[in-house]
Protein backbone atom coordinates (compact mmCIF):
# COMPACT_ATOMS: atom_id res chain seq x y z
CA UNK A 1 0.00 0.00 0.00
CA UNK A 2 1.19 3.54 -0.65
CA UNK A 3 1.27 6.31 1.97
CA UNK A 4 -2.04 7.85 0.91
CA UNK A 5 -3.89 4.54 1.18
CA UNK A 6 -2.37 3.70 4.57
CA UNK A 7 -3.14 7.21 5.82
CA UNK A 8 -6.77 7.01 4.69
CA UNK A 9 -7.31 3.55 6.20
CA UNK A 10 -5.70 4.46 9.52
CA UNK A 11 -7.54 7.78 9.84
CA UNK A 12 -10.80 5.97 9.14
CA UNK A 13 -10.04 3.39 11.82
CA UNK A 14 -9.06 6.06 14.34
CA UNK A 15 -12.23 8.02 13.62
CA UNK A 16 -14.36 5.05 14.70
CA UNK A 17 -13.07 5.23 18.29
CA UNK A 18 -15.82 6.30 20.65
CA UNK A 19 -14.88 9.13 23.06
CA UNK A 20 -14.69 6.77 26.06
CA UNK A 21 -12.51 4.32 24.11
CA UNK A 22 -10.12 7.10 23.04
CA UNK A 23 -9.96 8.39 26.63
CA UNK A 24 -9.27 4.91 28.05
CA UNK A 25 -6.55 4.05 25.51
CA UNK A 26 -5.00 7.52 25.89
CA UNK A 27 -4.94 7.02 29.67
CA UNK A 28 -3.06 3.72 29.27
CA UNK A 29 -0.54 5.24 26.83
CA UNK A 30 0.06 8.26 29.05
CA UNK A 31 0.50 6.12 32.18
CA UNK A 32 2.96 3.90 30.32
CA UNK A 33 5.00 6.93 29.22
CA UNK A 34 4.90 8.59 32.66
CA UNK A 35 6.39 5.41 34.17
CA UNK A 36 9.48 5.50 31.91
CA UNK A 37 12.99 6.65 32.71
CA UNK A 38 12.70 8.80 29.57
CA UNK A 39 10.06 10.93 31.28
CA UNK A 40 11.75 10.87 34.69
CA UNK A 41 15.13 11.96 33.28
CA UNK A 42 13.99 14.75 30.96
CA UNK A 43 13.94 18.36 32.09
CA UNK A 44 12.12 19.63 29.00
CA UNK A 45 9.67 17.97 26.66
CA UNK A 46 7.44 18.85 23.75
CA UNK A 47 3.86 17.62 23.63
CA UNK A 48 1.09 18.20 21.09
CA UNK A 49 -2.58 19.13 21.18
CA UNK A 50 -4.51 16.08 20.08
CA UNK A 51 -7.01 16.36 17.21
CA UNK A 52 -9.13 13.86 15.31
CA UNK A 53 -8.98 11.20 18.03
CA UNK A 54 -5.17 11.33 18.42
CA UNK A 55 -3.72 9.90 21.62
CA UNK A 56 -4.15 12.61 24.27
CA UNK A 57 -1.25 14.16 26.22
CA UNK A 58 -3.14 16.15 28.91
CA UNK A 59 -2.07 13.94 31.85
CA UNK A 60 1.56 14.16 30.74
CA UNK A 61 1.29 17.95 30.64
CA UNK A 62 -0.17 18.06 34.16
CA UNK A 63 2.50 15.74 35.61
CA UNK A 64 5.35 17.54 33.83
CA UNK A 65 4.17 20.88 35.24
CA UNK A 66 3.85 19.42 38.75
CA UNK A 67 7.43 18.16 38.49
CA UNK A 68 8.78 21.52 37.28
CA UNK A 69 9.67 20.37 33.77
CA UNK A 70 9.63 22.82 30.87
CA UNK A 71 6.79 21.96 28.50
CA UNK A 72 6.63 23.04 24.86
CA UNK A 73 3.90 22.84 22.23
CA UNK A 74 4.28 23.24 18.48
CA UNK A 75 3.16 26.28 16.52
CA UNK A 76 3.03 26.26 12.73
CA UNK A 77 4.28 29.33 10.87
CA UNK A 78 4.12 28.98 7.10
CA UNK A 79 5.79 25.65 6.33
CA UNK A 80 7.71 25.45 9.60
CA UNK A 81 7.09 24.00 13.04
CA UNK A 82 8.39 25.90 16.08
CA UNK A 83 8.19 24.94 19.75
CA UNK A 84 7.00 27.41 22.37
CA UNK A 85 7.14 26.94 26.14
CA UNK A 86 3.81 27.18 27.95
CA UNK A 87 2.77 26.92 31.60
CA UNK A 88 -0.98 26.58 31.24
CA UNK A 89 -3.47 25.14 28.72
CA UNK A 90 -4.97 28.65 28.67
CA UNK A 91 -1.95 29.76 26.62
CA UNK A 92 -3.12 27.59 23.71
CA UNK A 93 -5.36 29.10 21.05
CA UNK A 94 -6.94 27.71 17.91
CA UNK A 95 -4.31 27.89 15.19
CA UNK A 96 -3.25 26.24 11.97
CA UNK A 97 -5.34 23.33 10.76
CA UNK A 98 -7.78 23.69 13.68
CA UNK A 99 -5.15 22.60 16.23
CA UNK A 100 -4.59 24.30 19.59
CA UNK A 101 -1.15 25.92 19.59
CA UNK A 102 0.72 28.53 21.66
CA UNK A 103 -0.63 32.07 21.29
CA UNK A 104 1.22 34.35 18.87
CA UNK A 105 2.51 36.63 21.67
CA UNK A 106 4.55 33.76 23.19
CA UNK A 107 8.16 33.58 21.98
CA UNK A 108 9.60 30.61 20.10
CA UNK A 109 12.21 28.67 22.06
CA UNK A 110 15.84 29.08 20.98
CA UNK A 111 16.70 25.56 22.10
CA UNK A 112 15.29 22.15 21.31
CA UNK A 113 13.32 20.31 23.99
CA UNK A 114 15.21 17.27 25.31
CA UNK A 115 12.35 14.96 24.35
CA UNK A 116 9.64 15.36 21.72
CA UNK A 117 6.42 13.32 21.74
CA UNK A 118 5.58 12.98 18.07
CA UNK A 119 2.02 12.35 16.87
CA UNK A 120 1.31 10.40 13.72
CA UNK A 121 -1.24 8.52 11.69
CA UNK A 122 0.73 5.24 11.57
CA UNK A 123 4.04 3.88 12.86
CA UNK A 124 6.06 0.80 11.97
CA UNK A 125 8.28 -1.72 13.74
CA UNK A 126 11.44 -0.12 12.28
CA UNK A 127 10.97 3.34 13.82
CA UNK A 128 9.25 5.11 10.94
CA UNK A 129 6.11 7.21 11.14
CA UNK A 130 3.47 8.39 8.75
CA UNK A 131 2.06 11.84 9.47
CA UNK A 132 -0.65 13.84 7.76
CA UNK A 133 1.53 14.48 4.72
CA UNK A 134 2.71 18.07 5.19
CA UNK A 135 6.16 17.19 6.59
CA UNK A 136 6.20 19.64 9.52
CA UNK A 137 7.68 17.20 12.05
CA UNK A 138 10.09 15.65 9.54
CA UNK A 139 11.53 19.08 8.65
CA UNK A 140 11.89 20.00 12.32
CA UNK A 141 13.41 16.67 13.36
CA UNK A 142 15.90 16.80 10.47
CA UNK A 143 17.44 19.92 12.06
CA UNK A 144 17.40 18.71 15.69
CA UNK A 145 20.44 17.88 17.72
CA UNK A 146 21.24 14.16 17.95
CA UNK A 147 20.68 14.48 21.71
CA UNK A 148 16.93 15.14 21.26
CA UNK A 149 14.89 12.00 21.97
CA UNK A 150 12.02 11.58 19.49
CA UNK A 151 9.19 9.38 20.77
CA UNK A 152 6.18 8.37 18.70
CA UNK A 153 2.95 8.36 20.71
CA UNK A 154 -0.04 6.37 19.49
CA UNK A 155 -2.64 3.68 19.96
CA UNK A 156 -1.40 0.12 19.48
CA UNK A 157 -3.59 -0.39 16.40
CA UNK A 158 -1.58 2.34 14.64
CA UNK A 159 1.49 0.07 14.56
CA UNK A 160 2.20 -1.57 11.18
CA UNK A 161 4.88 -4.05 10.14
CA UNK A 162 6.43 -1.66 7.62
CA UNK A 163 5.64 1.73 6.12
CA UNK A 164 6.88 3.18 2.83
CA UNK A 165 9.75 5.57 3.60
CA UNK A 166 10.74 8.64 1.60
CA UNK A 167 14.09 10.43 1.53
CA UNK A 168 12.93 13.18 3.92
CA UNK A 169 11.20 10.92 6.47
CA UNK A 170 12.84 11.00 9.91
CA UNK A 171 13.11 7.95 12.17
CA UNK A 172 12.04 7.84 15.79
CA UNK A 173 14.01 6.73 18.84
CA UNK A 174 11.07 5.01 20.53
CA UNK A 175 7.33 4.42 20.31
CA UNK A 176 4.90 4.39 23.24
CA UNK A 177 1.41 2.96 22.84
CA UNK A 178 -1.34 1.90 25.19
CA UNK A 179 0.10 -1.65 25.26
CA UNK A 180 3.86 -1.41 24.75
CA UNK A 181 7.08 0.53 24.39
CA UNK A 182 9.44 -0.15 21.49
CA UNK A 183 12.92 1.40 21.43
CA UNK A 184 15.34 1.73 18.54
CA UNK A 185 18.00 3.92 20.18
CA UNK A 186 20.20 2.19 22.74
CA UNK A 187 21.21 5.42 24.49
CA UNK A 188 17.77 6.40 25.79
CA UNK A 189 17.64 7.48 29.45
CA UNK A 190 17.42 4.37 31.61
CA UNK A 191 18.95 2.13 28.93
CA UNK A 192 22.53 3.45 28.98
All structural domains of the chain with their residue ranges? 3-183
Task: Please provide the DSSP assignment of 86-132 as one string.
Answer: ESSGGGEEE-GGG-EEE-TTSPBPSS--SEEEE--SEEETTS-EE-S
Q: How far is CA 113 from CA 10, 26, 64, 71, in A?
A: 29, 22, 13, 8
Q: Say which residues have a Cβ less than 8 Å from residue 55's Cβ, sequence separation at least 6.
A: 25, 26, 29, 30, 119, 153, 154, 155, 177, 178
Checking if the pLDDT of 191 tops 60, the result is no
3-state helix, strand and coil shares in percent for the chain, rounded to the nearest 5: 30, 25, 45
CA angle 111-146-48, nearest 5°? Answer: 55
Provide the pLDDT for residue 189.
61
Gap between the Cα atoms of 72 and 159, Å rounded:
26
Reported as a single tens digit per residue, the pLDDT across 172-189 is 999 999 999 999 987 766
Report yes or no: 119 and 55 within 8 Å, Cβ to Cβ: yes
Gap between the Cα atoms of 187 and 165, Å rounded:
24
CATH superfamily to which 3-183 belongs? NagB/RpiA/CoA transferase-like (3.40.50.10420)
Reported as a single tens digit per residue, the pLDDT across 66-125 is 999 999 999 998 889 999 999 999 999 999 788 999 999 999 988 889 999 999 999 999
Q: What is the mean pLDDT of the chain?
A: 93
pTM of the model: 0.93
Reported as a single tens digit per residue, the pLDDT across 117-155 is 999 999 999 999 999 988 899 999 999 888 899 999 999
Task: Find the range with the poorest average confidence among 7-16, 31-40, 65-74, 141-150.
Answer: 141-150
Reported as a single tens digit per residue, the pLDDT across 55-74 is 999 999 999 999 999 999 99
Amino acid sequence: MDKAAIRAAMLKRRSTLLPDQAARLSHFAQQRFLATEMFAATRSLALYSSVRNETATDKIFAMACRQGKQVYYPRVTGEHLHFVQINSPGQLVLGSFGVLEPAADLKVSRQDPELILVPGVAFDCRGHRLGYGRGFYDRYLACCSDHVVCVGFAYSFQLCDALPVGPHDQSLDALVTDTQIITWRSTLPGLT
